[in-house]
Copies of this chain bind each other. A is one copy, B any other.
Amino acid sequence: MTDPKKSGKFKEYLEVERLKINQSLQDYFQVIIDGVNDREMKKIVTEIRNYTMNGGKRVRPILIATAFRMFGGRGDEIYRAAISIELSQSFFLIHDDIMDRSDLRRGFKSFHRKVEEMLGDIKDREHMAESLAIVAGDLAVDYSFDALTRSNFPLTVKFKALQQLVEIIKVTGYGEGLDMFSSAGVKLKMNDLIRLHLRKTAKYTLEGPLLMGSYLAGRDQNLNALKAYGNLVGLAFQLHDDVIGLFGTQEEIGKPPKSDVNEGKQTLLMIKAMERAEKGEKEFIQKCLDSGDINDHDFERLKEIVKNTHSYDYSRWLIERFIESGKRYISQIDGNPEQKEFLEWFADYLVSRRY
Contact = CB atoms under 8 A, between A and B. Distances in A.
Interface string A138-157: 11011101100100000110
B40 A128 contact: no
Nearest to A176: B135
Counted per complex, copies of this chain come to 2
A221 interface: no
Contacts of A41: 174, 177-178, 181
B181 A123 contact: no
B177 A132 contact: yes
Interface residues of A, number: 52
Contact of A159 (B127, B141, B155): B155
A143 B142 CA distance: 13
A337 interface: no
Contacts of A163: 146, 149
Contacts of A159: 149, 155, 158-159
Contacts of A351: none
A98 B159 CA distance: 33
From DSSP, what is the main secondary structure of chain A's interface residues? helix
Interface in A26-83: 36-38, 40-41, 44
Contact of A155 (B119, B156, B173, B177): B156
A178 B37 CA distance: 11
Contacts of A170: 139, 142-143, 146
A105 interface: no
Contacts of A155: 155-156, 159
Contacts of A134: 95, 98-99, 134, 137
A16 interface: no
A270 interface: no
A180 interface: yes
A178 B43 CA distance: 11
A174 B124 contact: no
Interface in A152-199: 155-156, 158-159, 162-163, 166, 169-170, 173-174, 176-178, 180-181, 184-186, 195
Which 4 pairs of residues, A with B, have the shortest CB-CB distance?
A: A99-B131, A142-B169, A40-B181, A139-B173
Interface of A: 36-38, 40-41, 44, 91, 95, 98-99, 101, 119, 122-124, 127-128, 131-132, 134-139, 141-143, 145-146, 149, 155-156, 158-159, 162-163, 166, 169-170, 173-174, 176-178, 180-181, 184-186, 195, 290
10 contacts: A40-B177, A98-B131, A99-B135, A119-B184, A128-B184, A137-B138, A138-B169, A139-B170, A146-B166, A155-B156
